[in-house]
Copies of this chain bind each other. A is one copy, B any other.
Amino acid sequence: MKLTILGCYSATPRTFTNPTSQVLEIQNHLFLIDCGEGTQVQLRKYKVKFSRINHIFISHLHGDHFFGLPGLISTFRLLGREKELHVYGPKGIKEAVSLFLKLGDSWTNYPLIFHELESKESELIMEDSKVSVRTIPLEHRVYTNGFLFKEKEAPRTLNVEAAQRYGIDRSQFNNIKKGNDAMDENGKLIPNKKLTHNPPKPKSYAFCSDTVYNESVVPLIKGVDAVYHESTFLETEAHLCDRTKHSTAKQAAQIAKSANADQLILGHYSTRYKSIELFKEEALTVFPKVELADDGKVFDL
């Protein structure tokens, strides 16, 4: 699982800071999460192959999370895309993007499929044999979802050494691979579990931005490998959180701690602060494994 941060600053794009967008590589998928203005330029800059993106997840319809979407969709057309593109986002996203394309008489040549979200409960929105994506309802000024990306457990693989130890004939190996138990030389049934390796623990990643401190997120992301949680402010500006529906670095750390996450990645920084290191320092007072997102940074999770 590899996470590439294309942008992780709040509010407006600036010369050296970009609004929210990131690419999650998971089980051969490239998932684009949020798409602030300039995302397509960031994709080029960090050499992400446009053609490998088939799913885009938009958390909410504030400009710094989706104003880059019409441009990216148009560019896909100019690049001769033919494959389906799936866009998951709040209700209204289809009308808005379609209107922009219609005004320019620029319909896509490829199937553009919107999956509009309006539930306030967590729901499964995408699934295939290797990965699932669920929404994480967040609490912001407008309808907002985070997203939980989860690998599925891989099939158990044959433990040849164990099979030989139990005296299992090779003719039964294919059957074991299919999940069946096997008979030893003496006709005793050996359970499949003893003849196969445990698959590696499936990885998971939770994206939680933008949101006020909201404990109802915790059970949804329990035990996650990495959680990206917004930290727009430091505790010195905690009084701004209620009105703007954002979090402090300490609050983000509290969520990661309560969820027993393996690591916390901070982002969505207000540009009022001199150094983003301050966010890390604050979060470390609550939670031990904190990383700072920054534009262009890559996390191997």
**A interface residue numbers (CB < 8 A to B):** 11-15, 37-38, 40-41, 44-45, 60-63, 67-68, 70-71, 74-75, 78, 90, 92-93, 95-96, 99-100, 103-106, 141-142
Check A61/B13 contact, CB under 8 A, given A37-B37, A38-B41, A67-B70: no
Minimum CB–CB distance from A134 to chain B (whole Å) comes to 23
**In the complex, which of the residues B14, B38, B63 contacts A44, with contact meaning CB atoms closer than 8 Å?**
B14
Pairwise interchain contact B142-A37, C-beta atoms closer than 8 A: no
CB contact between A100 and one of B41, B90, B96, B142 (< 8 Å): that residue: B96
Partner of A141, one of B15, B60, B105: B105
Q: Is B99's CB under 8 angstroms from A12's CB?
A: no
Of B13, B62, B142, the residue contacting A38 (CB under 8 A) is B13
How far, in Å, is A232 (CB) from chain B's closest CB? 13
The CA-CA distance from A37 to B13 in the complex, in Å, is: 11
**Given the complex, which residues of B lie within 8 Å of A40, measured CB to CB?**
12-13, 37
Instruction: Tell me if A106 and B12 are in contact (CB < 8 A).
Output: no
Q: Which of B11, B96, B106, B141 contacts A63 (CB 8 A)?
A: B106
Query: How far in angstroms is the closest Cβ of chain B from A100?
Result: 6
Give Cα distance in the complex from A56 to B104, angstroms: 18
Distance between A49 CB and nearest chain B CB, rounded to angstroms: 15
Q: Given A62-B106, A63-B106, A105-B141, 7 other A-B contacts at CB below 8 A?
A: A12-B40, A12-B75, A15-B45, A37-B71, A38-B38, A63-B100, A103-B142
A62 proximity list for chain B (CB < 8 A): 104, 106
Residue of B nearest to A39 (CB): B37
**Chain B residue contacts of A96, Cβ below 8 A:** 99-100, 103
User: With a CB–CB cut-off of 8 A, which chain B residues contact A95?
Assistant: 99
30 contacts between A and B (CB under 8 A): A12-B74, A12-B78, A13-B38, A13-B41, A13-B71, A14-B41, A15-B41, A15-B45, A37-B37, A37-B38, A37-B40, A37-B68, A38-B38, A38-B41, A61-B104, A63-B70, A63-B106, A67-B67, A67-B70, A67-B71, A67-B74, A67-B100, A92-B103, A93-B103, A95-B99, A96-B99, A96-B100, A96-B103, A103-B142, A104-B142
